[in-house]
Amino acid sequence: MSQPLLLRFTFLHRVVHWVVGMTFVVLLLTGLAFSYPSLFWLTTLLGGGPAARVLHPQIGAVFGVGLLVMFVLWVRDMFLDAPDRQWLGAIKHYAAHEHDKVPPAGKYNAGQKLFFWLQSLLGVLFVATGLLLWFPESFGSGLLNTMRLLHFAAALAGGLLLILHVYLGTVAYPGTARGMIDGKVTTAWARLHHPRWSGERVER
Amino acid sequence: MPDTLAIKRISASPSALIPLESLRSGGPVYSKLVDISKCIGCKGCEVACKEWNDLKVEQTSNFGSMQSHKDLSSNTWLLMRFNEVEIGDDLSWMIKKDACLHCEEPGCLFACPAPGAIVQYQNGIVDFNQDQCIGCQNCVSGCPFDIPRFDKETKTVAKCNMCIDRVEVGLEPACVKTCPTNAIQWGIKDDMLALAEKKVETMKRRGYEHAALYNPGGVGGTHMMYVVPHGDRLEDYSLPAHPVASPAPLGGLNVLRRVGSYLLGFGVLSALAHFLAVGPMSPEEDS
Ligand code: SF4
């Protein structure tokens, strides 16, 4: 039972993660409600259509700030190095769970790093288009529609990333989610998923 | 008196695609008919509209035109546009009564995601319910005539409601009632079509060979129709020549909706398939 544990995410990292994560889920659900008449009932989550419409951009502002903090906290670890490129070459082995054929990853594997950059890019798109949609009286309806379509497209990409993220972080790789709850992972988990990181940690 | 408020379509509901049929569907179907050639530019209709609908007055200024306001707004549902055009070496006013045309196939309603925020009645009126409106302005992109206007204060969208509260009790809309020259008429749509035909004939006899009825088929016809002396110069009246009920902006939205549901469905299903194929990857427990 008593396995040695490693601290993977500090309290600050965890808080920021959940602020961004939870606001994103609410934003995604209300956004889908605004886009699909059949999902309009989801606005009930925030007190009905008009209320959801008022709250959506406000929650979006929290999301935007959270994402910025997230970027600052994590960006140092997110640049791809040479082993990462090898890892990407072996990504199909990774997906097939043949981890003996996958080059060892550091604290974050190349997939996670790309995820980070994609999410940051989408974040910029969300906030830029969202801000304009928040104050629509300042420009014409042609631009408004373009912004709405961009915002929608970004949300779909974000939704896809969310599905991937939640799937990999929970059922696909047991032991991962704990890193975002009390911040700790087992050494066995670290050796399996992030050998170079666990190596550093153990030597220390 | 027949029930004039039987509902035909409700936004964001199945009836947006398949209009409701009811026992009361056979009630009267109305239309306004605007005869531009009879307008003397008094703007009595604009005032009547403001008064009846209790709309806020906006400060106007002379900007070198006969026109009162530069544009429609959430408090100005009717604007007589005086486009100045030279025909031959004569200056002509191409007047347009700019207000909701109450389309038979309303692009605004098709675009609206909020159930009940836009309602179309069997009598032809398309009305916005501000209490259901979420202010997303999809209707603004969906209207081929650029009619709905967003209100910064209420964060909802407004437009002409054809004085539905008057029509309901058998009265004509306020603008119709006010017009001193009968340039705006009101009645059963079929009667108005017959009347329009006569008017067009008369104009043609008087030398306006391109006189025409404006009742565009791309939106299924409208419940405010125009008779225009220069039917070959619709742009000069600011009337789109080929309006459609689902203009391009709606097309983009519909494509994204479809792509989106496939994409997210695909995401969930492939995660499931992956799990069924290879299962979880757990670290071997240290012992
Ligand atoms: S003119 Fe515009 S606002 Fe009026 S019914 Fe047609 S689409 Fe709707």
Q: What is the pLDDT of residues A11-32, one digit of tens each?
A: 999 999 999 999 999 999 999 9
Tell me if B102 CB under 6 Å of ligand 1.
Answer: yes
3-state secondary structure B228-240: ECCCCCHHHHCCC
Q: Which residues of chain A have pLDDT under 70?
A: 1-2, 137-141, 201-204
Q: What percentage of chain B carries pLDDT values higher than 70?
A: 97
Token pair 């994590």 in the structure block, residue: A74
For residues B96-119, average pLDDT: 95
pLDDT of residue A2: 61
Instruction: Give residue B185's identity as a one-letter amino acid code.
Output: Q
Nearest CA in chain B to A43: B114
Instruction: Give, in degrees to the nearest 5, the angle at Cα B109 between A58 and B31.
Output: 140
Under the banding of pLDDT at 50, 70 and 90, the label for residue B285 is low
pLDDT at residue B49 greater than cutoff 60: yes
pLDDT of residue B176: 97
Instruction: Give, in degrees to the nearest 5, the angle at Cα A148 between A142 and A154.
Output: 140
pLDDT of residue B24: 66
pLDDT at residue B48 greater than cutoff 90: yes
CB atoms within 10 A of CB A96: 14
Touching check for A115 and chain B: CB below 8 Å?
no
Q: B100, B175 in Cβ contact below 8 A?
A: no
pLDDT of residue B2: 53
Nearest CA in chain A to B267: A160
Backbone φ and ψ for B243, nearest 5 degrees, come out as: -70, 145
Task: Compare CB distances from A149 to B253, B267, B274 and report the shortest one's residue.
Answer: B253
Instruction: Give catalytic status of residue A165 as yes or no.
Output: yes
pLDDT at residue B173 greater than cutoff 90: yes
For residues B269-282, average pLDDT: 92
pTM of this structure: 0.84
pLDDT of residue A199: 75
Q: B45, B175 in Cβ contact below 8 A?
A: yes
pLDDT of residue A202: 61
* C-alpha span between B212 and B201 (Å, rounded): 9
For residues B232-259, average pLDDT: 89
* C-alpha span between B148 and B74 (Å, rounded): 8
Among A135, A138, A156, the strongest candidate for a mutation testing the B interface, having the largest count of B CBs within 10 A, is: A156
pLDDT of residue B5: 84
This complex has an ipTM of 0.84
Contact between B281 and A149 using a beta-carbon 8 Å cutoff: no
Tell me if B119 CB under 6 Å of ligand 1.
Answer: no
Backbone φ and ψ for B176, nearest 5 degrees, come out as: -65, -45
Please report which helix (H) or strand (E) contains residue B93, including its range: strand B90-98
Instruction: Give, in degrees to the nearest 5, the angle at Cα B281 between A17 and A200.
Output: 65
pLDDT of residue B221: 96
* C-alpha span between B287 and B281 (Å, rounded): 18
Touching check for A96 and chain B: CB below 8 Å?
yes
* C-alpha span between B84 and B7 (Å, rounded): 40
- Nearest residue by C-alpha to atom 5 in ligand 1: B102
Task: Compare CB distances from B12 to A40, A97, A189 and report the shortest one's residue.
Answer: A40
